[in-house]
Structure 1
Amino acid sequence: MLENQLNSEASIHLVVSISRQILSVYKGDTHLKDYIVSTAKNGIGSLEGSHCTPLGRHVIAAKIGHNMPMNSVFVGRVPTGEIYDSELGKAFPERDWILTRILWLAGCEPTINQGSNEFGCCDTFSRFIYIHGTPDDESMAEPLSHGCVRMRNGDIIDLFEEVVEGTKVLIEI
């Protein structure tokens, strides 16, 4: 089934620009739309524990949260049953909120964003790097995440419907 999805949607791909804090959607060479995002506060990097956003070629390995309500809270990719609001945010200010939908990324470049290198694990998938929703009162267009690519909740719902597992994602400076 995934192979059929890839064949029918192969021309859709995403480009995340760290310097511009923009996620762009393309079909073939045609630019379709841009979304404002927030990447890692610690900058770019691929090592486990760095809390950096990894560069390079990736694919969407899993889509999580289909048909969940907007602002659904996820912990470990599992919905908690909570719906985020400002009161919940105030009650748990230390939580890194993963909301609404998750697009779990896997790296495609061994020793860069897949597997390990001489410095340790650099695997995007095992580092749990996602494109996901975040509280709408969080700042966008500036690096503030713990390594993931954060989006507005309405935007991640829109993007979630545009992509399939296997969609290519390029993260560049």
Structure 2
Amino acid sequence: MSAILLLSTSCVTKTAAKRDTFNVLKISIPAQEMILYREGKMVKSYPVSTSKFGLGNEKGSYRTPLGRMEIAEKIGSGRPAGAVFKSRKWTGEVIKPDSPGRDPIVSRILWLRGTEKKNDNTYSRCIYIHGTAAEKDIGKPVSYGCIRMTSNDVIDLYRKVGEGATVYITKKDLGEEVPLAPRIGNSNEVEIEALPLSPIKHAIPAFQPNLTSQSGATSGEHAAYAPTDHVTTTSAALPSAHPAELTNPETLFQPGAPARMAPPARERGAPATVPFQIPQTDPTEAPRKREFRPFRMSST
């Protein structure tokens, strides 16, 4: 029994140690673009495609949720670019980008989990970042709730991030700061972290999401795990009409960065946070005396 408990504890510790705490993905709905940040510095940008039904978290709405999430699972390691997935399992088929009449989920899947009350059903809705065979439509809102990428891009992203990496989907443009969760320092200081402004200029016209109420299909699109080898092809992904499946497929976490990245911006003399100092009282100042006066009712 003790051996079993020891093995169980070691497995839990090992999994926790693999969580990606260095990378943040910011996805802008107006720009239809994703930026990868590592310790506050922009690493790379990717064009994406979000839902053609607009924004929301309702089950069966096919809409893209907003807010802060994390990568819960990575699917597709070792599969070729263009590998077709159904219910997050490889069918054995490999297709080329923009194959006529085909729009399956391909290459890689990054399954998202919501970390806020407003998007806490993201995982059960099967909202993914995944590859799509319809690469000609990337940069336009044409998905069924998921975040679509080209096969080359999703394979590249898959190598760079791990499970636990933060994903932030926002209605703001890439030129606007996105505040993250408060980080508590010592008892006299509170720091608010924010993603820096992006210097990227976009060729994609701004997209105004349709926020009107719509009844729609089920949830996000089903995707699969992607390979981690050197693959250069691309592929696509098609939303599936099957109900959301909550099976936990085998995952392979491969962190895309060493344990310690470049030192944070604040160590290089360029503070990335705005500290708020709590006022301190002067210990030499004599305490003020309060004068108490009895309250009297006046008769009228």
TM, length-normalised to structure 2:
0.51
- In the TM superposition, residue 138 of structure 1 has moved relative to its aligned partner by 3.2
Which residue of the partner structure matches residue 154 of structure 2?
A: 156
- In the TM superposition, residue 86 of structure 1 has moved relative to its aligned partner by 6.5
1:4 aligns with 2:2: no
Q: Out of 119, 125, 129, which is 1:113 matched to?
A: 119
Amino acid at match of 1:164: G
Distance 1:155 1:62, change over 3 A: same
Report if aligned partners of 1:23, 1:34 keep a CA contact under 8 Å in 2. yes
Distance 1:132 1:86, change over 3 A: closer
For residues 75 and 29 of structure 1, the distance between their equivalents in structure 2, rounded to whole angstroms, comes to: 36
Higher relative contact order (CA 8 A, sep 6+): 1
Greater share of strand: 1
Aligned length: 158
Which residue of the partner structure matches residue 90 of structure 2?
A: 79
Secondary structure at 1:154's aligned position in 2? helix
After superposition, where does 1:1-173 map in structure 2 within 5 Å? 1-6=14-19, 9-85=20-96, 89-90=99-100, 93=101, 96-110=103-117, 112-114=118-120, 123-135=121-133, 137-173=135-171
Report if aligned partners of 2:130, 2:154 keep a CA contact under 8 Å in 1. yes
Secondary structure at 2:73's aligned position in 1? strand
Secondary structure at 1:38's aligned position in 2? coil
For residues 137 and 107 of structure 1, the distance between their equivalents in structure 2, rounded to whole angstroms, comes to: 27
Report if aligned partners of 1:46, 1:113 keep a CA contact under 8 Å in 2. yes
Give unpaired runs (5+ residues) of structure 1.
115-122
Q: Deviations over 1:78-102 (max 9, x none)?
A: 0001112379x44xx3x65110000
- In the TM superposition, residue 3 of structure 1 has moved relative to its aligned partner by 1.6
- In the TM superposition, residue 136 of structure 1 has moved relative to its aligned partner by 5.1
For residues 137 and 34 of structure 1, the distance between their equivalents in structure 2, rounded to whole angstroms, comes to: 16
Structure 1 residue runs of 4 or more that deviate by more than 4 Å after TM superposition: none
- In the TM superposition, residue 158 of structure 1 has moved relative to its aligned partner by 0.3
Secondary structure at 1:63's aligned position in 2? strand
Secondary structure at 2:154's aligned position in 1? helix
For residues 49 and 158 of structure 1, the distance between their equivalents in structure 2, rounded to whole angstroms, comes to: 30
Amino acid at match of 1:113: N
Q: Deviations over 1:81-137 (max 9, x none)?
A: 1112379x44xx3x6511000000000012x111xxxxxxxx100100000000154
Amino acid at match of 2:30: S
Secondary structure at 2:119's aligned position in 1? coil
Amino acid at match of 1:27: R
Give unpaired runs (5+ residues) of structure 2.
1-13, 172-300
Report if aligned partners of 1:136, 1:153 keep a CA contact under 8 Å in 2. no
For residues 85 and 11 of structure 1, the distance between their equivalents in structure 2, rounded to whole angstroms, comes to: 33
For residues 26 and 58 of structure 2, the distance between their equivalents in structure 1, rounded to whole angstroms, comes to: 21
- Work out which of the two has the higher radius of gyration on C-alpha atoms and give 1 or 2: 2
